[in-house]
């Protein structure tokens, strides 16, 4: 599977997160994967504390499967779930007559890491929490 990784250390000696690892995956990196493979890959990485950035979006069925798989993997003390955010882009039709919004990229990370997010439809800014878990319930 082709993808890029943006460093760094994820775990110190005492198990605390000392850096944030971000994985960027192009749409072509996922096109040969089944929905189950995509979801498993995302949950495996996020559960380890990684942030996953995907070009494009998941299908509604994949989103539901992602939530379902996340619920199965939640460990109330160590893994409290995920946050998902999308950034949209305009897509022009073949004849250029109409525009509609599509998902340009999807950001998925551990709920206790994605501390504060400011979002517009085509812009996202996030502060990662590298210490204690303090994510809120939504």
Q: Name the residues that contact other proteins, by CB under 8 A.
A: 59-61, 63-64, 67-68, 70-72, 74, 76-77, 80-86, 111-112, 133, 135-138
Which CB atom, from 21 or from 86, has the smaller least distance to other proteins?
86
Rounded to a whole number of angstroms, the minimum distance from the CB of residue 36 to other proteins is 15
Rounded to a whole number of angstroms, the minimum distance from the CB of residue 27 to other proteins is 18
Q: Is the bond leading into 24 cis (omega within 30 degrees of zero)?
A: no
Rounded to a whole number of angstroms, the minimum distance from the CB of residue 5 to other proteins is 24
Q: Tell me whether residue 128 is exposed, middle or buried, using C-beta atoms within 10 angstroms of its C-beta: 0 to 12, 13 to 18, 19 or more.
A: middle
Which CB atom, from 16 or from 68, has the smaller least distance to other proteins?
68
Rounded to a whole number of angstroms, the minimum distance from the CB of residue 60 to other proteins is 3
Which CB atom, from 80 or from 128, has the smaller least distance to other proteins?
80
Which CB atom, from 6 or from 36, has the smaller least distance to other proteins?
36
Strand order across the beta sheet in which 51-55 lies: 4-6, 22-25, 51-55, 99-110
- Angle (nearest 5°) at CA 137 between 135 and 138: 120
Phi, psi of 71 (to 5 degrees): -60, -35
């Amino acid at each position: 599977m082709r993808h890029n990784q943006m460093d760094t250390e994820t775990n110190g000696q005492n198990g605390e997160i000392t850096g944030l690892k971000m994985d960027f995956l192009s749409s072509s990196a996922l096109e040969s994967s089944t929905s189950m493979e995509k979801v498993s890959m995302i949950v495996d990485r996020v559960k380890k504390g990684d942030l996953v950035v995907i070009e494009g979006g998941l299908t509604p069925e994949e989103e539901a499967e992602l939530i379902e798989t996340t619920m199965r993997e939640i460990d109330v003390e160590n893994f409290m779930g995920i946050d998902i955010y999308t950034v949209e882009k305009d897509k022009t039709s073949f004849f250029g007559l109409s525009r509609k919004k599509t998902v340009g990229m999807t950001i998925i990370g551990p709920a206790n890491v994605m501390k504060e997010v400011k979002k517009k439809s085509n812009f996202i800014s996030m502060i990662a929490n590298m210490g204690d878990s303090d994510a809120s319930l939504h």
